[in-house]
Structure 1
Amino acid sequence: MSNHFEKPDHARDDWTIDQGWSDYTAEDHSVWDLLYKRQIDVLPGRAAPEFMDGLKALDLGKGGIPEFETMSDELESLTGWRVVAVPGLVPDEVFFDHLANRRFPAGQFIRKRDQLDYLQEPDVFHDVFGHVPMLTNPIFADYMEAYGKGGLRSLNYAALKNLAALYWYTVEFGLIRTDQGLRIYGAGIVSSKTESIFALEDPSPNRIGFELERLMQTDYRIDDFQQTYFVIDSYDQLFQATVETDFAPIYERLQGKFDYRPEDVLERDEVITKGTQAYAKAGGRFAEAD
Structure 2
Amino acid sequence: MTQTKASPPQPPPGAAADWTIPQAWESYTPAEHAMWDRLFERQSRLLPGRAAPEFLRGIEVLRMSRPGIPDFAELSDRLHALTGWRVVAVPGLVPDEDFFRHLANRTFVAGRFIRTPAQIDYLQEPDVFHDVFGHVPLLADPRFADYMQAYGEGGLRSLRFDAMPRLARLYWYTVEFGLVRSDAGLRIFGAGIVSSSGESVFALDDPSPNRIGFDLRRLMRTRYRIDDYQQTYFVIDSFEDLLRQTLETDFAPLYAELAEAADLDTDAVLPTDAVLHLGTQAYARSRKAS
Aligned counterpart for 1:98 among listed residues 102, 114, 126: 102
Name the residue aligned to 2:200.
Answer: 196
Q: Alpha carbons of 1:261 and 1:267: their partners in 2 closer, same or farther (altered >3 Å)?
A: same
Structure 1 distance, partners of 2:44, 2:61, is: 15
Kept in 1, the 8 Å contact 2:62–2:133? The answer is no
Structure 1 distance, partners of 2:276, 2:178, is: 14
1:225 aligns with 2:233: no
**Fraction of identical pairs, as percent:** 63
Structure 1 distance, partners of 2:124, 2:9, is: 16
Name the residue aligned to 1:186.
Answer: 190
Name the residue aligned to 1:32.
Answer: 36
Aligned counterpart for 1:83 among listed residues 69, 81, 87: 87
Aligned counterpart for 1:18 among listed residues 19, 22, 33: 22
Structure 1 distance, partners of 2:64, 2:138, is: 12
1:140 aligns with 2:161: no
Secondary structure of the 1:33 match is: helix
Q: Counterpart of 1:119 in structure 2: which amino acid?
A: L
Name the residue aligned to 1:255.
Answer: 259
Q: Alpha carbons of 1:5 and 1:202: their partners in 2 closer, same or farther (altered >3 Å)?
A: farther
Aligned counterpart for 1:160 among listed residues 158, 164, 180: 164
Q: 1:13-46 CA distances to partner (integer Å, 9 max, x unpaired)?
A: 0000000100000000011011111212211100
Q: Counterpart of 2:172 in structure 1: which amino acid?
A: W
244-253 vs 165-174, greater mean Cα deviation: 244-253
1:176 aligns with 2:180: yes
Secondary structure of the 1:156 match is: helix
Q: Counterpart of 1:57 in structure 2: which amino acid?
A: V
Q: Counterpart of 2:129 in structure 1: which amino acid?
A: F
Q: 1:147-169 CA distances to partner (integer Å, 9 max, x unpaired)?
A: 00000000011211110000000
Aligned counterpart for 1:264 among listed residues 245, 263, 268: 268
How big is the shift at 1:62? Answer: 6.3
Kept in 2, the 8 Å contact 1:96–1:151? The answer is yes
Structure 2 distance, partners of 1:250, 1:147, is: 15
Structure 1 distance, partners of 2:60, 2:155, is: 30
Structure 2 distance, partners of 1:61, 1:39, is: 20
Q: Which runs of 5+ in 2 are unaligned?
A: 1-6, 286-290
Kept in 1, the 8 Å contact 2:62–2:70? The answer is no
Name the residue aligned to 1:121.
Answer: 125
1:69 aligns with 2:83: no
How big is the shift at 1:274? Answer: 1.2
Q: Alpha carbons of 1:169 and 1:56: their partners in 2 closer, same or farther (altered >3 Å)?
A: same
Q: Counterpart of 1:249 in structure 2: which amino acid?
A: P
Q: Alpha carbons of 1:275 and 1:260: their partners in 2 closer, same or farther (altered >3 Å)?
A: same
Secondary structure of the 1:97 match is: helix
How big is the shift at 1:101? Answer: 0.3
Name the residue aligned to 2:4.
Answer: none
207-216 vs 245-254, greater mean Cα deviation: 245-254
The TM-score, its normalising length taken from structure 1, stands at 0.92
1:274 aligns with 2:240: no
How big is the shift at 1:257? Answer: 6.9
Q: Alpha carbons of 1:9 and 1:217: their partners in 2 closer, same or farther (altered >3 Å)?
A: same
1:50 aligns with 2:54: yes
Q: Give the root-mean-square deviation of aligned CA atoms.
A: 1.9
Q: Counterpart of 2:106 in structure 1: which amino acid?
A: R
Aligned counterpart for 1:59 among listed residues 57, 63, 83: 63
Aligned counterpart for 1:7 among listed residues 3, 6, 11: 11
The TM-score, its normalising length taken from structure 2, stands at 0.92
Q: Alpha carbons of 1:265 and 1:58: their partners in 2 closer, same or farther (altered >3 Å)?
A: same
Q: Alpha carbons of 1:71 and 1:142: their partners in 2 closer, same or farther (altered >3 Å)?
A: same
How big is the shift at 1:56? Answer: 1.3
Secondary structure of the 2:12 match is: coil
